[in-house]
Amino acid sequence: MLVDTKQAIVLLKQGQVVAIPTETVYGLAADASNDKALRQIYAIKQRPADNPLIVHIAAASQISDWAAEFPPLAQKLAKAFWPGPFTLVLPAKPHVSLIVRGNQPTVALRVPSHELALQLLKESGLALAAPSANKFTQLSPTTASHVATSLGEDIPVLDGGACKVGIESTIVSVIGDDWQLLRLGMVSEASIETLAGKPALKNQVDLPKAPGQHLLHYSPKTPIKLFPSREALINYVKVSKKSCAALLIGEGEDIDKLPNCQHLTLSKQAMQAAEQLYSALHAMDAFNVEQLLVEAPPNAPEWLAILDRLTRAAH
C-alpha cells in the first residue's frame, strides 16, 4: 500500500511500521525509541531478536542522543561519509532500547542520503530503526514493488524510486582510535583506511561483530551458482540439464553461446552494477527457472562488496 510523506509520518508517530526509501535499499522503518513498534519490525521480517537494527538519524548532531562515545575517528568518518551509505557502530547510551540494539552494548547509526528519508527524519523529529525491508535472509528491496513482493501488499510503502547505491551500507565499528569493518559496502575499506591512518583490526574477539552477517543471506528464492569466469559458466550451461538464467558482467560476443538460457547483463562499472544488482536478481527470480548462474565480478577492490553479496546469495 503506497503512502505519501504526511501519511508515513502519522503512521510512524503512532508506532506503526512504514517501508521507506534510502539510497542503499528500502528499509522497514519504525520509531527507534518505541519498543512496541520495534517488535513489529522483527515480527514482520521474521528476524532473530539478537540481530540489531540500524538507527537512522537526520544529522551527525543527533549522535549524542544515542552513543555514549563519539571518538574523533568516528567524527571524521561521519563528516566524510554522511549523509551516505555508511553505518557507524558505537558504544550505546544506557537508555537505548535493548530491542533496537539486539542486546548488544553498541548501537548502529546512519544518516541516509535520500531526499525523502531525510525529509521524514527531519519533519517527524524521530530517529528511525530500519533494517532492509525484506524477510530474513532474502534479497533486499531496491524498489517499492520489491517490498510488496517480499512483505506483502499491506505494508505501507513510501515510494522514492529505485535506490541509487543499490546494496546495503558499509558498517564500521569504532572503539577509541581503532576500527573494524563489519560489512562491506560501496564506501570502500581503502577510503576508510586513508582517513583513519591505519588499517582495520581483524578478528578481534573483544570487538562487536555484526550478528546479522549470516553466510546465507541476500538470497533469491532460486538457487544461485557462482562461476569464476564467463567461460566456466558457458561450459556449465552446455552440459547442464536444468533450466537456467544467467547474470553476466558486461556484454560480449560469447553471450551468443548461451543457448536455452535467458540472461541479464550488469554494467562493467562497479558502481552501476551495484545499483542494478538486486533488481536483476529479483527479475531473474521471476523467470521461474531451476538455477541462476552468475559470473563472478572482476577481482578488484571496487567489486568486493558486490562479490560479498553474490557469495552469500550463492551459499
**Which residues sit at the interface with ligand TXA, rule CB under 6 A?**
22, 24-25, 27, 51-54, 85, 87, 89, 101, 104, 106-108, 110, 112, 130-132, 168-169, 171, 182, 208, 210-213
Distance CA 252, CA 25 (A): 29
CB 45 within 8 A of CB 53: no
Residue 289 Cβ vs Mg ion, minimum distance, rounded to whole Å: 25
**Chain contacts with Mg ion (rule: CB under 5 A):** 132
Question: Which does residue 107 touch among Mg ion, ligand TXA, none (CB within 5 to 8 A, set by kind)?
Answer: ligand TXA
Residue 91 or 160 with smaller CB distance to Mg ion: 160
CA atoms within 13 A on the CB side of 159: 8
Residue 168 or 308 with smaller CB distance to ligand TXA: 168
CA dihedral over 100, 104, 106, 109, signed as positive or negative: negative
Residue 279 Cβ vs Mg ion, minimum distance, rounded to whole Å: 16
Q: Which are the contacts of 138, defined by CB distance < 8 A and separation ≥ 6?
A: 150, 218, 219, 220, 221
Residue 33 or 265 with smaller CB distance to ligand TXA: 33
Question: Which does residue 297 touch among Mg ion, ligand TXA, none (CB within 5 to 8 A, set by kind)?
Answer: none
Residue 182 or 237 with smaller CB distance to Mg ion: 182
Question: Which does residue 208 touch among ligand TXA, Mg ion, none (CB within 5 to 8 A, set by kind)?
Answer: ligand TXA
Residue 13 Cβ vs ligand TXA, minimum distance, rounded to whole Å: 20
Q: Which are the contacts of 15, defined by CB distance < 8 A and separation ≥ 6?
A: 30, 31, 34, 36, 37
Peptide bond into 83 cis (omega under 30): yes
Question: Which does residue 143 touch among Mg ion, ligand TXA, none (CB within 5 to 8 A, set by kind)?
Answer: none
Question: Which does residue 110 touch among Mg ion, ligand TXA, none (CB within 5 to 8 A, set by kind)?
Answer: ligand TXA
Q: What are phi and psi of 120, to 5 degrees?
A: -60, -50
CA 233 to each of CA 84, 139, 244, 275: distance values in angstroms, whole numbers, following the listed order: 35, 22, 11, 23
